[in-house]
Amino acid sequence: MRDGEIVGYVNSGAYGFTLGASVALGYVHCDCGVTKDCVESGNWEIESAGTRHAAGVSLRAFFDPKGERARG
């Protein structure tokens, strides 16, 4: 949800041990376009079992966004 409106869905989730938090992956569609400005603005939430939880949103990976760790 973005600013209380449904804008997508979660298709998988798990605990991210490297991040030390739960991670959900999904798809988002916004009328404003899924741009950096759109992602960085608004109030993002994920609803699970009828409860809303605050969510951090990013166009890049939260851990090692440049892929440097994978390249060695």
As beta bridge partners, residue 24 has 13
Q: What's the confidence (pLDDT) of residue 33?
A: 78
pLDDT tens profile 11-36: 988 998 988 888 888 888 877 777 88
> Mean pLDDT throughout 58-71?
76
pLDDT, mean over the chain: 84
Q: Which of 8, 47, 11, 3 is nearest to 29 (CA)?
A: 8
Structure tokens at 11: 């298709």
Please tell me the pTM assigned to this model. Answer: 0.69
- Top mean pLDDT of 19-23, 33-37, 50-54, 65-69 is at 50-54
